[in-house]
Structure formats: C-alpha cells, structure tokens
Amino acid sequence: MEHTTERLRAAAPTAGARRREPEHEPLWDRAVRVLDANWTGASTVPSRTLYPHQWSWDSAFIAIGLRHVSPLRAQTELETLLSAQWADGRIPHIVFNPAVPLDAYFPSPDFWRSSSVRGAPAAVETSGIVQPPVHALAAWLVHRADPELSRARGFLTRVYPALAAWHRYLLHRRDLGGGGLASVVHPWEQGMDNSPCWDGPLSRITPAEPRMFRRADLEHGAADDRPTDLDYGRYVRLAMDYRDARYADDDQGAARRTSVEGGGGSRAGGEFAVEDPSFNALLAASEHALARIACELGAAGTARHARAERLTAALVERLWDPAAGMFFCRDVRGAGPIEEYSVSGLLPLILPTLPRDVVRALVRTARGPHFGIGDRVRLAPSYDLLGPAFDPHRYWRGPAWFNTNWLLEYGLRLHGELGGAARLRAAMLDTAGASDFAEYVDPYTGAGCGARGFGWTAALTLDLLSPQGPRSHARDTAGQAVTRGQGPGGC
C-alpha cells in the first residue's frame, strides 16, 4: 500500500479551496496546522495526547476534510484504516500504533488481544469492536475531490471490496433484532459513548472491578467531563465479555462466552444490543455512496440504492415515534424503545428519501425545547436540554460535538432548510476557532472541553469552509434522489 509523508501546505491549498471566503483564511490555516500536527505518516490521530492511535470514524471524517488540501493523503487515511480490516468484514474501532507505549491509552492492545483471534489482521493490533459506518460516504467524497488522481491510483477499485464486506458484516452479522437494522453491542461502537441512552441497557451489566482497568483518560481531562467510574466499569465488562467470546456475534460466540463465564450470557450478541438511529442512518447513507462507487467502476448500483431505501424504511418502522417527532434507540435485549432525546435521533436527516412528514417533524424537534437549535444554543447538544441527565460538560451527556453538528447541517441543507443550515455552519466555524478546535464544547457558551487540536474538528472546519464541502454534496445528493433509477443500472 502506498503511503505519503506529505505535509499539508496552508499557504497553497487546492484550487477549489482558494475560492473560500478571505475572512476565513486564518481559520483555514490553523485547521491545516492541526491536521499536520496529528499526522503520523500513514494516518491521523484524533489527539496527540488523549487519543494517540487511529480511530475508525474519526479517520472517515478526517479524510472528508483532508480531501480539500491533499486528496492523496485523504485516500491514504482510508487505505491505512482498511488495511486493518478483519476477515469477517468488520473495521475495528481502533488501529494501534506499535510505537505508542501500552500505558498511553486504555484499553490497550494487550486488553483486546486481537492477534490471538482467528480472522483478525496479522500485521497490526486492533480492538475487536466497531464504530459508525461513515467510510463509504467518505471514500466517495474523497474520490470526487480529485477523480483523475483517484482513477490513476485505482483508489475506488481497491477500497470498494473492503467497504462492501464491511456493510455485509453489519447487515448480516449484526441484525440482532431481526428487523433489518444493525445493532451495536457496546456503547463505544455507536460513538456517543456516554449517552444517557445507554443507562437502561447498561444497568443490566455488572461492572468490572476497578483493579481490572486504568482510567488513562483522566490524565488528560477533568473527571467531571468524563464518564463515571461506574459507567467505565460497565464498558470494560462488556468489552471483556465480547473479547472472551472471541468477538463472535452468533450463537457459537455466546456459547464460548458462557463457557468462559461459567454461566449466563447465553444470547448471541451478549446482554447489550441496541439499534441506534444515527448508526443505521450512516449505514444507509453509505449504501447510497457504495452504489455510486459501483457505478463509477462500471457496475450496477440499483441493488445498493434499494438496500439503502430498505434501511431507511426499517428506520422509520422500528425507531420512529411520530408523537415525539423523534427517532429513538431500541433496546433489543430489553423493553423496546429507549425514550431519550439524543442528537442521534435527529441524524436520519442525512437520508435523501426520508419521508417529508418525518423531515418536517425532525426539524420542529431540532428547533424545539429539547435541542434549541437557532435560538437557545450555539450548537446542537448531544442530549436533551430538558433531560434529567443533561450536563453541558460531561462526555456525550449534553456537550455539542462537531461531527454530529456537521451531519445535522448537511441534513438540513439536503432537505431545503437553507437558513437553518447557514446559521449552524456559521456557529460551527466561530466555535471551532474560538475553542482552538476542541473535541467538544458547552452547547450554550461554546467553551471548549476535552482535547484541543482535535482532528475531526479541524477537518470538518476545512470542509465547511470549502465550496466543495457539504453544501455542494447536499445539492448533488438531492439531485440523485430525484433522478435515481433513470440511468443504466440505477446510475
């Protein structure tokens, strides 16, 4: 696989980037410097301090921004991640850098023990869980940034089989609820690790004892901003159980888990299995992107577009609550819907064929008292402003994140909510610069929390600044939704 050690050039961005607004030149240059500082030579770390390895959905968002200054490096970012794919198709949520000391991050490679698992990559250590499937969408956008370079390198030809296998894994091995949606088996997989949505399902999990883990995250962030020890103990227990089942998602894995534990844990997928709106919306959006990649490679895209629309229909059927005007998570192992207002429930707005009545209701909810977009907050909070668990600083229990706001801005624009999208874009750019590209921020004040110089915050800032960013892609996607199926093979 080709790698590049190229540094980004803040003073000489791509031709498309040079058309950005002059008043944002300093912000552009600062974002470029963050990505240079976080570059390892083959991939980009989210943060040099708190997250010193390669993270799955971080790299997808980072590639979306990198494409505006170095399409080659954006391609390399995704290729490096995909080189760590497992034989069953899963893309692990962490790819570990062997040069980083074991005690720099927990859970470390010796916790996950991927090298002892059949089907895991032999050349690199990884985790055994996954993260949201943004990758095909990222690959398509990266290709569109420089199609000539992409075709010359055979970029899509190389990544398409891996992305197809990734989706196959999620659609077949992770349909634990039997309703056509993928389930996550750990809060870390959904990406919004500490969301109150997980409190109910996690209450069934006996936490690992404190001696079994070390909170490396507390060395880089305030304890009041991070998950509690009780929650962290439950995360560790879930990960240990899945590891001891050899990361299997079927009944054979459940049987191995029972053998290891000496009883209990007899269900495939374990005691934690949740269907999440944003995870499945991203899967559907990436299926649409895979269809377009297939068409670029000369194959038919009809079946993949149809699969994306079946996923959209399943989302509405299983997770939509019309009375609440919201998508809710579903606890596959518990009592059904988890009636918590999380930003995850707004993100199906990224889907081009979402029914119009659902779109209108979601926009009302986003503007209403639960999220306050447009008047009460600067950026969309990660959790219900009115919820009993809301905390504007604690990890995913209220703070605003740039990737979720980027997706929301894109969804608003896609469905013609141009004024709301423009206001959200402006607030994101102002907050990114003022917070020094913080990992997350107080949704009311914009005060930064977590790591600074955070990878996807800088990358998505570049995307928002570029005329080839989400505004262009939203127009393109909307057009595809109208004309789909009229060309050869649904292309």
* Residue 155 main-chain phi, psi, to 5 deg: -60, -55
Radius of gyration (Cα) for the chain, nearest Å? 21
Selecting among 217, 276, 417, 439, the annotated active-site residue is 439
- The strand pairing partners of 95, in sequence order, are 54, 126
pLDDT tens across 165-179, in order? 999 999 999 999 999
- The pLDDT score that the predictor gives to residue 226 is 65
**Distance (Å, rounded) from C-alpha 315 to C-alpha 476?**
23
Both structure tokens of 121: 């990559």
pLDDT tens across 439-489, in order? 999 999 999 999 999 999 999 999 999 987 655 666 566 545 433 433 335
Residue 439 bears catalytic tag: yes
Q: Confidence band (pLDDT; 50, 70, 90) for 227?
A: low
- The mean pLDDT of the chain is 88
CA nearest to 291, candidates 300, 278, 282, 281: 300
**Does pLDDT of 259 surpass 90?**
no
112, 125 in Cβ contact below 8 A? yes
Q: Confidence band (pLDDT; 50, 70, 90) for 231?
A: confident
pLDDT tens across 342-400, in order? 999 999 999 999 999 999 999 999 999 999 999 999 999 999 999 999 999 988 999 99
Q: Is 469 left (phi over 0), alpha (psi -120 to 50) or beta?
A: beta
* Whether pTM exceeds 0.85: yes
Q: Kindly state the DSSP code that residue 327 receives in the 8-state scheme.
A: E
At 215, the amino acid letter reads R
* Between 243 and 219, the higher pLDDT residue: 243
Cα–Cα distance list, 67 to 17, 62, 138 (Å): 10, 9, 9
**By three-state DSSP, how is residue 127 classified?**
coil
- The pLDDT score that the predictor gives to residue 471 is 57
What is the average pLDDT across 16-25?
53
**Would you say the C-alpha torsion 240, 244, 245, 246 has a positive or negative sign?**
positive
Residue 79 bears catalytic tag: no
Selecting among 193, 244, 261, 476, the annotated active-site residue is 193
What is the average pLDDT across 230-244?
92
How is the chain split among helix, strand and coil, in percent rounded to 5?
50, 5, 40
Both structure tokens of 105: 């991050």
What is the average pLDDT across 87-106?
95
